[in-house]
Structure 1
Amino acid sequence: MIALNSPVKPNLKKLTKFLEQVNKNGWYTNFGPLHKELTAKLEDYLGVQNLLLTNNGTSALQVAAKAIGSRDILATPFSFVATVSAFKWQKDKLAFADIDKHSLNLSPEAVKLAYRKGCKADTVVATHVYGNPCDVDAIDSLSEQNNFQTIYDAAHAFGVKLKDSSVLNYGDANTLSFHATKIFHTVEGGAIVFKDRVNFEKAEEIINFGIRPGRGVVDIGINAKLNEYQAAVGLVNLDEIDNILNHRAEIFHQYREGLKDFVELPKWHADANFNGAYMPILLESAEQMVEATKHLTNNNIQSRHYFEPSLDKVFVDSHNYGTRNSTSTAERILCLPMHAYLSHEEVTRVINTIKGMK
Structure 2
Amino acid sequence: MEFPLIAPRPPRLSELTEGLRRIEASGVFSNNGPEVRAFEAEATERLFGGTGACLAVGNATLGLIVALRQAAGMQLRPGTLALMPALTFAATAQAALWAGLTPLICDIEADGWTADPRQEEALLARYGARIGVIVPYATFGTAIDLDRYAWLADRHGVGVVIDAAASLGTRDGDGRGFGSGAPFTLVYSMHATKTFSVAEGGLIHSGDVARIDQLRGMINFGFERGRSATLPGINAKLPEVIALMARAKLAEIDAVCDHRAAIDAAYRAALPGFAMQRPSGRRQATQFMPVLLPPELAGERDAIVAALAADGVGVGQYFSPHLGEQPLFRDTALIEPTPVADAIGGRMLSLPITDAMTPADAPVIAARLAGAVARVTAAGATRQMGTAMQDLTTVVIGGGPAGTAMLTSASKLGKLAPLVEAGFAIVEQRARMGAGELGSYAIRSDTTAETFLSAVKNNPHPELAELEHHPAGQLMGRYVAELGAPLVDTAPLLSATADRLRDIVVRHGGAVLTGHAAQRVQRTADGRWQTTVSDGAGVTRALVSRNVVVATGGVQTDEQVAAKRVAGVALGALAGERLIRSDTVLRLGGVEQVHERLRDIPSPRVAIIGASTSAIAAAVLLLKSQPGFAFGAGAVTLLHRQPLKPFYPNVAAAHADGFHDFDDNDICPVSGFVLRLAGLRLESRELVLRMLSLGGRTPDPRVASHRIAGDEDAAARAVIAEADLVIGALGYRPRAVPLLGVDGAPLALAHHAGRPMVDRHCRILDAQDRPVPGAYGIGLSAGFVPWGRLGGEASFRGQANGLWLWQNDVGQMIVDQLLDREAQEAA
TM-score, normalised with respect to structure 2: 0.42
**Higher Cα radius of gyration:** 2
> 1:202 — aligned with what?
214
> 1:190-211: per-residue Cα shift (whole Å, max 9, x none)?
0111232222121111111111
> 2:317 — aligned with what?
305
Go from structure 1 to structure 2 and tell me whether the alpha carbon gap of 1:298 and 1:211 turns closer, same or farther (over 3 Å shift): same
Distance 1:98 1:189 in 2: 29
| Aligned mate of 2:363, from 338, 345, 348 | 348
Question: What is the Cα deviation at residue 89 of structure 1?
Answer: 2.4
Letter in 2 for 1:25: S
Structure 1 position 183 matched with structure 2 position 186: no
Distance 2:333 2:253 in 1: 39
Greater relative CO (CA pairs within 8 A, separation 6+): 1
Deviates more, 1:312-321 or 1:103-112: 312-321
> 1:69 — aligned with what?
72
Deviates more, 1:292-301 or 1:208-217: 208-217
SS in 1 for 2:21: helix
Instruction: Tell me the number of residue pairs that the alignment of Structure 1 and Structure 2 aligns.
Output: 356
> 1:184-239: per-residue Cα shift (whole Å, max 9, x none)?
13311001112322221211111111112447432331110001111111122222
> 2:106 — aligned with what?
97
Structure 1 position 53 matched with structure 2 position 56: yes
Question: What is the Cα deviation at residue 13 of structure 1?
Answer: 4.6
> 2:165 — aligned with what?
155
Distance 1:107 1:195 in 2: 25
Distance 1:243 1:144 in 2: 37
> 2:528 — aligned with what?
none
Distance 1:98 1:137 in 2: 21
| Aligned mate of 2:340, from 290, 312, 325 | 325
Distance 2:197 2:319 in 1: 21
Q: Is the CA contact (8 Å cut-off) linking 2:41 and 2:53 kept in structure 1?
A: no
Distance 1:349 1:240 in 2: 27
SS in 1 for 2:136: strand
Q: Is the CA contact (8 Å cut-off) linking 1:97 and 1:106 kept in structure 2?
A: yes
Question: What is the Cα deviation at residue 250 of structure 1?
Answer: 0.8
Question: What is the Cα deviation at residue 181 of structure 1?
Answer: 0.6
Letter in 2 for 1:68: A
Deviates more, 1:144-153 or 1:245-254: 144-153
Distance 1:115 1:240 in 2: 41
SS in 2 for 1:295: helix
Letter in 1 for 2:147: D
> 2:260 — aligned with what?
248
Go from structure 1 to structure 2 and tell me whether the alpha carbon gap of 1:295 and 1:121 turns closer, same or farther (over 3 Å shift): same
Letter in 1 for 2:52: Q
**Regions of 4+ moved over 4 Å:** none
> 1:338 — aligned with what?
353
Question: What is the Cα deviation at residue 340 of structure 1?
Answer: 1.0
Percent identity, please.
25
Letter in 1 for 2:345: A
Equivalence map 1:17-166=2 (5 Å): 17-47=18-48, 48-70=51-73, 71-119=80-128, 120-162=130-172, 163-166=174-177
Deviates more, 1:94-103 or 1:310-319: 310-319
Letter in 1 for 2:207: K
Distance 1:190 1:319 in 2: 28
RMSD across aligned positions (CA)? 1.8
Letter in 2 for 1:311: L
Distance 2:106 2:228 in 1: 41
Q: Is the CA contact (8 Å cut-off) linking 1:106 and 1:134 kept in structure 2?
A: no
> 1:317-346: per-residue Cα shift (whole Å, max 9, x none)?
322232111111111111001111113333
Distance 1:123 1:171 in 2: 14
Distance 1:171 1:331 in 2: 35
Letter in 2 for 1:221: G
SS in 1 for 2:109: coil
Q: Is the CA contact (8 Å cut-off) linking 2:6 and 2:193 kept in structure 1?
A: yes
Q: Is the CA contact (8 Å cut-off) linking 1:11 and 1:236 kept in structure 2?
A: no
Letter in 1 for 2:234: I
| Aligned mate of 2:231, from 219, 222, 236 | 219
Question: What is the Cα deviation at residue 298 of structure 1?
Answer: 1.9
> 2:17 — aligned with what?
16
Go from structure 1 to structure 2 and tell me whether the alpha carbon gap of 1:91 and 1:139 turns closer, same or farther (over 3 Å shift): same
Q: Is the CA contact (8 Å cut-off) linking 1:158 and 1:183 kept in structure 2?
A: yes
Q: Is the CA contact (8 Å cut-off) linking 2:301 and 2:347 kept in structure 1?
A: yes
Go from structure 1 to structure 2 and tell me whether the alpha carbon gap of 1:210 and 1:252 turns closer, same or farther (over 3 Å shift): same
Go from structure 1 to structure 2 and tell me whether the alpha carbon gap of 1:167 and 1:243 turns closer, same or farther (over 3 Å shift): closer
Deviates more, 1:130-139 or 1:211-220: 211-220
Question: What is the Cα deviation at residue 352 of structure 1?
Answer: 1.3
Q: Is the CA contact (8 Å cut-off) linking 2:324 and 2:335 kept in structure 1?
A: yes
Letter in 2 for 1:175: V
Distance 2:13 2:153 in 1: 46
Distance 2:138 2:208 in 1: 21
TM-score, normalised with respect to structure 1: 0.94
SS in 1 for 2:161: strand
SS in 1 for 2:276: coil
Letter in 2 for 1:331: G
Distance 2:22 2:147 in 1: 44
Letter in 1 for 2:125: R
Letter in 1 for 2:43: L
Distance 2:193 2:201 in 1: 11
> 1:63-115: per-residue Cα shift (whole Å, max 9, x none)?
11122234421111110100111111233122111100111001111101212
Question: What is the Cα deviation at residue 134 of structure 1?
Answer: 2.2
Go from structure 1 to structure 2 and tell me whether the alpha carbon gap of 1:94 and 1:12 turns closer, same or farther (over 3 Å shift): closer
Gaps of 5+ in 2: 74-79, 375-827
Go from structure 1 to structure 2 and tell me whether the alpha carbon gap of 1:318 and 1:214 turns closer, same or farther (over 3 Å shift): closer
Equivalence map 1:253-264=2 (5 Å): 253-259=265-271, 261-264=272-275
Q: Is the CA contact (8 Å cut-off) linking 1:114 and 1:321 kept in structure 2?
A: no
Question: What is the Cα deviation at residue 171 of structure 1?
Answer: 5.3
